[in-house]
Each structure stands twice: as C-alpha cells, then as structure tokens.
Amino acid sequence: MPPELSIVVPMFNEQTNVEPFVAAVSAALVTAGIEHEIVLVDDGSSDGTWAAIVELARARPALRGISLSRNFGHQGALLAGLNHARGRAVITMDGDLQHPPETLPELVAAWRDGFKVVNTRRLDSEDTSFFKRLTSRGFYWLFSRLTGVTMEAGASDFRLLDRDAVEALIRLGDADPFIRGLVSWLGFQTKTIP
Ligand code: UDP
Ligand code: MG
C-alpha cells in the first residue's frame, strides 16, 4: 500500500541537517496523524550526507535514501525524488529547514479539500533587502512575459502535488526541468498558502 504522503527532499552537503530535518518533519506529521514516507535524495554531496542518511534509515523504515551518481542540481534532485515517491500526494521541500515543517499539515489539509497543487509563497520579512525584493519580483515579471507562464512572486519549490500532477510532470520527460514553471503550465486546481 502506498503511503498517503511522500516528502521529497534534495540534499547537497547537508550532513549536519539530515537528522534535525527528519526529526522536525516526522514530529510535525506524527502529531497531525499523517501517514508518510520521507525520500531523501543525496545530490552527489562531497561531505557525509549519504552516510548520515544511511545511518538514520536503519532505525526508520519510513525513510528512504536515493544516491545520485553526481551532482545534478536542485531541480534534477527534485525530479529524481518525484520519480521514486510512492505517496498519493507528494510534498517537495528543502533539506536545510528553510521551509517550515509545521506548515506541512496545512498543505495536506488543502489537498484533502480537493486542490491538486498546493503552492507556498515566501513572506518577505523585515530583513529581506530591497535588492532581493526587487530582483525577485523582476525575475517573475520577466519570466511570465517571456514564457506566457504565470508564476507568483516569491514562489518556491515547497509545494504539494497530487499523484495526478506528479505523473503529468514526469510524463513531460524533461531531464533538466524548471519545475516551478512546469507545474504552473500543467494547470490543475491550485491553492497558494503563505
Ligand atoms: N541542493 C541540491 N543540489 C544542489 C544544490 C542544492 O540538492 O546542487 C539542495 C539543498 O541541499 C537544499 C535545496 O536544494 O535542500 C535548496 O538549496 P539551497 O538551500 O542552496 O537554496 P536556497 O536556499 O538558496 O534557495
Ligand atoms: Mg537554502
């Protein structure tokens, strides 16, 4: 039986984050009673990331590790993880705890309400520089103008995809995808939460 939810996480030189990340994600999901697996993708790290994943997986059957043959970059690692995820819904998130695990139940709740894509949007904090805000907005504006694909400013790769959306994305067969843009292009009932 596939788990209800897969968490897919690209990891590049994150050896010190592996254990605290898994602990925080498991705690959030167990508290909310959400059945899950965690898929950690080692993207050709040069530190002890893979050793840390193997060590942790010994004691945790719901944890699976994937070791890529070289460094493919964030998007390539995400795609590898999506290909191996078995959940009826899949959440992608960064492995450095910059995407808050306590929001995971909120993404799942939106999916249970019927949304097939649940995006998150970064909230600019007071210490976000004027330069960062300007270049970020500029990027999304220009990207939309050039491609005709709309993406919200502050969009991130912290998102939930229903199994239908995962299969559609994989079927595109893009070996070097820009996942944020492709997910928007695919369509599906979408909700964005901050
Ligand atoms: N990452 C990866 N391969 C890379 C670079 C980054 O798998 O070549 C992972 C990284 O470990 C993290 C996520 O992708 O989990 C986002 O990377 P990073 O934190 O460097 O990006 P930023 O926070 O600047 O958006
Ligand atoms: Mg980061």
Is the minimum distance from the CB of 11 to ligand 1 under 6 angstroms?
yes
Residue with CA nearest ligand 1 atom 2: 74
- Ligand that comes closest to the CA of residue 122: 1
Q: How far apart, in Å, do the first and last CA atoms of the chain sit? A: 32
Give percent of the chain above pLDDT 90.
80
Atom number, ligand 1, closest to the C-alpha of residue 13: 11
The whole-angstrom separation of Cα 193 and Cα 96 is: 20
Give the list of residues 6+ apart from residue 45 with CB closer than 8 angstroms, or none: 11, 12, 13, 14, 15, 71
**pLDDT band at 147, cuts 50/70/90?**
confident
Pocket test for ligand 1, best of 11, 43, 72, 94 (most atoms within 8 A of CB): 94
The whole-angstrom separation of Cα 166 and Cα 172 is: 10
pLDDT at residue 124 above 80?
no
Mean pLDDT, rounded, of the chain:
94
Average confidence (pLDDT) over 1-19: 96
The whole-angstrom separation of Cα 102 and Cα 18 is: 17
pTM of the model: 0.93
Is the minimum distance from the CB of 96 to ligand 1 under 6 angstroms?
yes
Is the minimum distance from the CB of 44 to ligand 1 under 6 angstroms?
no
pLDDT at 115: 98
pLDDT at 66: 98
**pLDDT tens readout for residues 58-71:** 999 999 999 999 99
Phi, psi of 176 (to 5 degrees): -135, 70
Is the minimum distance from the CB of 157 to ligand 1 under 6 angstroms?
no
| Encoded tokens for 119 | 């995006």
**pLDDT tens readout for residues 87-110:** 999 999 999 999 999 999 999 999
The whole-angstrom separation of Cα 32 and Cα 5 is: 12
pLDDT at 164: 98
pLDDT at residue 152 above 80?
no
Q: Which residues neighbour ligand 2 (ion) by CB within 5 Å?
A: 96, 98
Pairing of the two strands 36-42 and 5-11: parallel
**pLDDT band at 154, cuts 50/70/90?**
confident
pLDDT at residue 157 above 90?
yes
Is the minimum distance from the CB of 43 to ligand 1 under 6 angstroms?
yes
**pLDDT tens readout for residues 12-36:** 999 999 999 999 999 999 999 999 9
Pocket test for ligand 1, best of 25, 46, 74 (most atoms within 8 A of CB): 74
Average confidence (pLDDT) over 42-55: 98
Per the model's pLDDT, the better-predicted residue between 130 and 74 turns out to be 74
Chain Cα centroid distance, residue 57: 20
